[in-house]
Amino acid sequence: MVSCAYNDVRKWLDDGNREIVNENAYYPLAHKWALEKKLTIVGNSDIHDPTSMAYDFCKGEHRPMTLVFAKEKTEESIKEALLAHRTAVYYKNILVGEEQYLKAIFEKSIQILNADVTIKGKGKTIVQIRNSSDLDFELVADGSPETIATAGNITLERDRTTLLTISGKQKDHSGTEKIRIPYKVKNLVVAPD
């Protein structure tokens, strides 16, 4: 474990870096302020008792954590990442941070196992989506393709493969085409609201 000197961290906090999550609360105004002022975002729990007294690990609960995207496992690299604002907050089943970091986490975690599928007319098929991360991703439909129908909400469970049913909308539609199925990831938060 790498630990920064107390005075360095205290000065960093005094310079205006603040938490946007504390214990069980997310502060959208603090998040907005951090974005406007280009501050490093942090989250913590302020727990003074053993963590297991505040969170039920058997139910998957955990304390808020600040993820630091450091280039190396050294005190200097962690300090450099904090000063460069390369952080995200892991809170409940939510990641809060800059889009570039959250998008990279999502894209590295998700794999379509069978991207080429066949649907005849109004038939159905299954697409397998693998989530190799330790976070469930909650997806919400963001529009609908003309020729197919899919679920409005999907949860890509952590370390699992989810089956997504796709149905054809038109009886006589034929041919080969690439189809983009638009979803937003609800629990990756890049800004308030």
Same domain membership, residue 92 and residue 10: yes
CATH of the domain at 22: 3.20.20.140
Distances (CA, A) of 146 to 42, 116, 168, 170: 42, 18, 9, 9
Q: How many structural domains are present in the chain?
A: 2
Same domain membership, residue 115 and residue 93: no
69 vs 54, residue with greater confidence: 69
Query: What angle (nearest 5°) sits at the alpha carbon of residue 193, between those of residues 56 and 18?
Result: 65
Same domain membership, residue 23 and residue 66: yes
pTM value is: 0.81
Same domain membership, residue 154 and residue 82: no
Q: What percent of the chain has pLDDT over 90?
A: 55
The domain in which residue 45 lies consists of 6-97
For residue 54, pLDDT over 80 is answered with no
For residue 2, pLDDT over 50 is answered with no
Q: At what angle do helices 6-14 and 75-83 cross, to 10 degrees?
A: 0
